[in-house]
Amino acid sequence: MLSRDNRLVKNALKLKQRKYREQQGRFLVEGIRFIEEGLKEGVVDYILYSRKLYRVNGSESILSSEVDKFEIDEPLIKELSETENPQGAVAVVRKQSYALEDIEGDFIVIADGVQDPGNLGTIIRTSDAAGASAVILIKGTVDVYNSKTLRATMGSVFHMPILHFDDFEGLCSILKNRGFNIYASSLDVEDYIYASDFKGKTAIIIGNEANGIPEEHINLATHKIKIPMQGRAESLNAASAAAIIIYEVVRQRLYK
């Protein structure tokens, strides 16, 4: 049984902080389903588990995996975990690295300053379900490897190429050169999303929960769109707005 002073345990504890996740290109996942997804993708470095894991349904796939596994005591599992009732296993996982030139397909979702971990995770999950090619995170967006964000992705973090871009203008230039139409939501526009043609190469921008998309970023888009608001609410949750637009893209492509 590994103690708290063991190098692997110390390393896992450090990964609870963003700066160490960025330095090492690693992050933590917990729970059987999440670890299974990581094992399928071949990105798990090692697993730390407690005796509790033997009593959890479905744990056989983890216990029988060929990845290195090390037992630790239950208090350490609880310290590594972000849930109230951990299932008894935490895995150290390698980040998957993608470059924009590697992304094939014609549908990209851009998160521009999304701050709520649950919203970002849900946007990634929705993008995965809709068959998007990639999710691009602009500087100022919450850390995708935050435990709350990861839980909200429901494993889609392993299926969906996720890229980080600091230079929004540069990103737009690359996408335009590749023939993409870039859509930004704005209240200062006549056309609803249903009047837009999303059948071609499409990139949609989802903005910050409180402030939306920065005006200078809206001006770099090729099209401005808005979601109809018929009631008294002034805005939608970012993840809800993303789902509406994303599935309008899907609808148009299914019923050409």
Q: Say how many CA atoms lie within 13 Å of 247 toward its Cβ.
A: 10
pLDDT greater than 90 at residue 210: no
pLDDT greater than 90 at residue 218: yes
Antiparallel, parallel or unpaired: β 68-71 and 134-138: unpaired
When the pLDDT of each residue in the chain is averaged and rounded to a whole number, the result is: 94
Position 45 scores a pLDDT of 98
Q: What's the pLDDT band for 199 if we cut at 50, 70, 90?
A: very high
Rounded to whole angstroms, what are the CA distances from 84 to 36, 77, 174?
20, 11, 44
Antiparallel, parallel or unpaired: β 26-30 and 89-94: antiparallel
Report d(CA 130, CA 159) in Å as an integer: 12
Task: Retrieve residue 210's tokens.
Answer: 């409180």
* Stretch 190-218: mean pLDDT: 93
pTM score, two decimals? Answer: 0.93
Residue ranges and CATH numbers for the domains of the chain are 7-94 (3.30.1330.30), 100-255 (3.40.1280.10)
